[in-house]
Structure 1
């Protein structure tokens, strides 16, 4: 059985109107605080390759949002807005000082919205292939478009998810990696085994399909409100590092390029031959770039 502990992490739970699972990857006590926020259907496992690299110079934790990973819904909402509030409570009550937020996909959207709404608890924001509005004139990936269409239709979404679970845990892991990675063969076997184990743990919990579909629909709805989303971006006053893989099938790289042009003071890096999860595909590169960016903006020391 492979878990987060095999990647240097220690599991904890915080009571934030119900148990919230998070993983402490350690790091220097006097270093800056980094909070890692996964995407739709993801978990703390999305960060286990990157976190130990960042922990060489920062105190790093990863949180499982409501309805994801080992944070069961417990009757809580799992929308983008609800998880943004949950993230705010986690930063304030568990970390207890301003942090650098690093969010991927839906987690990038949630981190961005939280930063716009509560800037006092965020020192810097790293957006790793965040969920963004689609740019007019670009064509979404057919598999992604069809999947999210099924999620949006009452009844069909649950049947689609149930059908997917008829496959073995390994096949479920492989399908996800084929969607999010440009080249899934580079993902370590240990991470695949940990993902299989997590699938087994989550199979014991009721209500996760409804929680996932709520989060998925909320992500699409929030992205569709282009004006409000772009307005939230304009509210951000902390340093921002936006990155994107040019082979991302879920969020077309054109969307990241468009946002980068609107915010020339943000740092923008684009990675050739990389998909939706650079932190899993090229963790060494992402770590090096993030730590360099933190140095540039003097975020490499603790806020306390």
Structure 2
């Protein structure tokens, strides 16, 4: 259905065997990128009022111009974008909010955790940043970014979707960081399973997440694992963290069950922003089989499928993702996307 791209070529990556021209060529920027060594710490953060919400937001300094806004996925946080934001910073400064209920952002009372509710919060953040922006989203954040691009096109100059959470209703325990999660909300056994999961230590939780999301967990630096474990440890003290995770998970399932004009598959064709779709061929969370359809239904999309890559390509392959994103930005400016 598609050809696996040859990663790292300075000019282009062939990504799809199709007659639709825009899908056949993803230009990679030849711009020299900053070094990612030594390991970059998370970007500075502060709490910001976004409408009636209070979000924990990390900011990456950059030149004047179109800013970038980064939207993390289910169970993730703003730190998922540290390396990619660093690579793009010479061209675009950026902001990465912790979504309500994730990272360090406490959700408002009454927040319903639907994709649309998350999208409305991020849209207000974009208004504060100064639209239009280069909008990038991963997993659940990709679905949120897609909804913003569809419903608020004036806010989005370009769109990058990294393994977006398009409907994928496979019943496969390998999609979970811990297979017991599938039993956590069942009658009778659910309470016991939830207690077992709660007993896991922060580092064990962090290791499970990386094992699920990376094709090669050994590529995840030890320093990053320490950061992730610290974050899991902090979140263990937030009474709102576990319910936010559960409710956002159920909200994704509800979105995947929605048919007709309100479905994600119906929203995608209405996106008019130039779009880069990136997928890891070894993504266990959202199957790469969704990649071609996603790129085909978005009118101005091109597709990059990366071998030996899992669900968080921006973390596992930040350099090639940065070159692809910059390539899109350059070609959009030149009117050739």
Q: TM-score, normalised by structure 1?
A: 0.88
Report how far residue 231 of structure 1 moved.
1.6
- Higher mean C-alpha deviation, range 161-170 or range 148-157: 148-157
Kept in 2: contact 1:9–1:26 (CA 8 A): no
- Partners of 1:172 and 1:64 in 2: how far apart? 19
Q: Paired residue for 2:60?
A: 25
Report how far residue 264 of structure 1 moved.
6.3
2:119 matched to 1:84?
Answer: yes
- Select the residue among 83, 96, 114 that pairs with 1:49: 83
Kept in 1: contact 2:141–2:164 (CA 8 A): yes
| Structure 1, gaps ≥5 residues long | none
- Select the residue among 38, 46, 54 that pairs with 2:72: 38
Report how far residue 73 of structure 1 moved.
1.7
Kept in 2: contact 1:66–1:77 (CA 8 A): no
Q: TM-score, normalised by structure 2?
A: 0.80
Kept in 2: contact 1:133–1:226 (CA 8 A): no
Aligned length in residues: 291
Q: Paired residue for 2:272?
A: 237
2:203 matched to 1:177?
Answer: no
Larger radius of gyration: 2
| Structure 2, gaps ≥5 residues long | 1-38
Report how far residue 160 of structure 1 moved.
4.1
Kept in 1: contact 2:273–2:300 (CA 8 A): no
Distance 1:140 1:252, change over 3 A: farther
- Partners of 1:215 and 1:259 in 2: how far apart? 22
Report how far residue 13 of structure 1 moved.
1.2
SS at match of 1:52: helix
- Partners of 1:184 and 1:27 in 2: how far apart? 31
- Select the residue among 144, 154, 157 that pairs with 2:175: 144
- Higher mean C-alpha deviation, range 46-55 or range 291-300: 291-300
- Select the residue among 44, 48, 72 that pairs with 1:10: 44
Q: Which has the higher helix share?
A: 1
Distance 1:97 1:21, change over 3 A: same
Q: Paired residue for 1:219?
A: 252
- Partners of 1:73 and 1:84 in 2: how far apart? 14
Kept in 1: contact 2:156–2:273 (CA 8 A): yes
- Select the residue among 144, 147, 162 that pairs with 1:128: 162
Kept in 1: contact 2:119–2:144 (CA 8 A): yes
Q: Paired residue for 1:105?
A: 139
Report how far residue 168 of structure 1 moved.
2.0
Kept in 1: contact 2:272–2:300 (CA 8 A): no
Q: Paired residue for 2:292?
A: 257
Q: Paired residue for 2:22?
A: none
Report how far residue 85 of structure 1 moved.
0.7
Distance 1:209 1:31, change over 3 A: same
